[in-house]
Structure 1
Amino acid sequence: MRNIKMTVQYDGSRYLGWQRLGDSDKTIQGKIEMVLSAMTGENIEVIGSGRTDAGVHAIKQVANFRTQSRMPLEAMLDYCYRYLPEDILIPDMQEVDERFHSRYNAKAKKYLYRIWNDKFHNPFYRKYTCHIPDCLDIDLMRAAARYLVGEHDYTSFTSLKSKKKSKVKKVYSIDIEMKDKMIDILFYGNGFLYNMVRIMTGTLIEVGLGKISLIPWKVY
């Protein structure tokens, strides 16, 4: 049995997220599994390093699958390039140790949130940025971001309802950079809860707009 590690890139605009859904074919995992299963003649299960929500894109999502097929990796890449939709790309495959597991072996994750901060939206970035017409105070946002860095219980920053799953995560850094009218917020941590990045970004935006005061702030 071969264990194949993949790098996956995708534009998530028209998909319901990464995770396969039983009643829909509009997921990244589902599309890739369908192509790989047709390629190998097997029932392929793709394991992703994490789940992305609806509309989220990926530059370097890591995944793996197991197969009995002896097809060369280059031929697999060519097959996937030919049959996957244009908004999903697998640019790299490697054969790895059978114990490798994309999710369990993931050490850290990065999420980039982009904001177009101008009165008018940019038609070329509209699918890949959040448009905020009012001026954001970047210094205030950076100050607020420092409170969110560290190991905390992020219950207040997730839509996850489960009481069994731990809400404790470790955020290593939150870097906020602005170039011209584009603001990039890069989150780096050992993992993120459901909607955690979106909610933290929304909170930072509220601070930047002066709608939330920095004092008192405390994350336990």
Structure 2
Amino acid sequence: MRNIRMVISYVGTTYHGFQTQPIGNTVQDVLTKAIYVLTGEKVHIIASGRTDAGVHARGQVINFQCASRIPIDRWALALNARLPDDIAVLKADEVPLDFHASYNARQKTYRYTIDTNKFADVFERNYRFHYPMPLRLPEMREALSALIGTHDFTSFASLRSTKVSHVRTISDAKLMDSEGKLELFITGDGFLYNMVRIIMGTLLWVGEGKLDASDFKRILEAKDRSLAGPTAMSHGLTLWEVVYDN
């Protein structure tokens, strides 16, 4: 038996998220089917994390065990020939049998991107949340700094979160802007359900002046979801990178 690890990218626009669910049409479903067509094996795919409906991935990491003897350098090419245009295998390698794409992940980076132009860029509309409001960027950056470190992120987690602990460590969070585009990059040891989208929604309230930068720390320490802002739209979010010890 072999344990195959892959880095994949996908556009989440037409899928009901990554993980298999009763309503079907998930990224995991499509990958599982492609692997079956290639190898004749029904494998169990493990992902570094679940992405919701409409969320994209630049560097999602998966692994699965199989008996196929396909050379490791042929996996990406062979699978891509059997996948739709909105899912791609970027690379593959063989890892020890005890490797687990989720449990062994050391940190993840997400990107949330916003189109700040008056009129939406039609070529980016599936990847960038159109938000043509004047935003106070210095205040947003000041607010964001409150997230750095180890905290209980209950205020920025969906009420549907099933995690026993909401304590997470954020090592980096930055807001980058260029003409017509605003990007949040946030890196941590793990993220809760809707956490990045709620952070973004709350940051936008700061940007509009509905909240002060100092309110961000107050909301974080309150551990109360009702105090934070709305959950930003899913299509602006991308799982950017997953890092492992090896």
TM-score by length of 1: 0.94
Matches within 5 A, 1:36-185: 36-162=35-161, 165-185=164-184
CA distance in 2, matches of 1:75, 1:168: 40
In the alignment, the residues of structure 2 paired with residue 103 and residue 91 of structure 1 have an alpha-carbon distance, to the nearest angstrom, of 18
1:163, CA displacement in angstroms?
6.3
Distance (whole Å) between structure 1 residues aligned to residue 90 and residue 10 of structure 2: 11
Contact between 1:177 and 1:185, CA under 8 Å: does it hold in 2? yes
Structure 2: runs of 5+ lacking an equivalent: 222-246
Q: Whole-Å Cα distance in 2 between the matches of residues 71 and 215 of structure 1? A: 56
Change (3 A) 1:209 1:162: closer
User: What is the match of residue 8 of structure 1?
Assistant: 8
Identity across the alignment (%)? 41
Q: Distance in 2 between matches of 1:162 and 1:198?
A: 14
Counterparts of 1:164 and 1:146, CA distance in 2: 24
Is the Cα contact below 8 Å between 2:139 and 2:212 reproduced in 1?
no
Aligned residue in 1 for 2:207: 208
Normalising by structure 2, report the TM-score. Answer: 0.85
**Residues 158 and 195, structure 1, Cα contact 8 Å, conserved in 2:** yes
Distance of 1:185 and 1:162 partners within structure 2: 22
1:22/1:180 Cα in 2 relative to 1: closer, same or farther (>3 Å)?
same
Aligned equivalents of 1:9, 1:45: Cα separation in 2: 19
RMSD of equivalent CA atoms:
1.4
Contact map agreement 2:143 2:214 (CA 8 A) in 1: no
Check 1:114–1:105 CA distance in 2 against 1; reply closer, same or farther (3 A cut): same
With a CA cutoff of 8 Å and minimum separation of 6, indicate the structure with the bigger relative contact order. 2
The 3-state SS of whatever aligns with 1:83 is: coil
Equivalent residue letter for 1:206: W
Query: What is the CA distance between 1:95 and its match in structure 2?
Result: 1.0
Of stretches 114-123 and 158-167 in structure 1, the one that deviates more from structure 2 is 158-167
Moved over 4 A (4+): none
Distance 1:73 1:164 in 2: 35
Query: Contact 1:160/1:193 (CA < 8 Å) preserved in 2?
Result: no
Cα distance, 1:161–1:23 mapped onto 2, change above 3 Å: closer
* Change over 3 Å in CA distance of 1:84–1:160 after alignment to 2: farther
Deviation at 1:23, TM superposition (A): 3.4
Q: Distance in 1 between matches of 2:212 and 2:19?
A: 37
Q: 1:92 to 1:164 in 2, by over 3 A?
A: closer
Specify the code of the residue in structure 2 equivalent to 1:7: V
Shift of 1:162: 4.9
Count of residues paired in the alignment: 219
Could you list the per-position Cα deviations for residues 157-187 of structure 1 after superposition, in whole angstroms to 9, with x for gaps in the alignment?
A: 1114356621111111110011111111001
Please tell me whether the aligned partners of residues 113 and 186 of structure 1 are also in contact (alpha carbons under 8 angstroms).
yes
Q: CA deviation at 1:17?
A: 0.8
State which drifts further: 196-205 or 41-50: 41-50
Native 8 Å contact 2:8 2:59 kept in 1? yes
Question: Which secondary structure state, in structure 1, belongs to the residue aligned with residue 127 of structure 2?
Answer: coil
Distance 1:114 1:147 in 2: 20
| Residues 161, 192 of structure 2: 8 Å contact kept | no
Stretches of structure 1 lacking an aligned partner (at least 5 in a row):
none
The match for 1:33 is 32
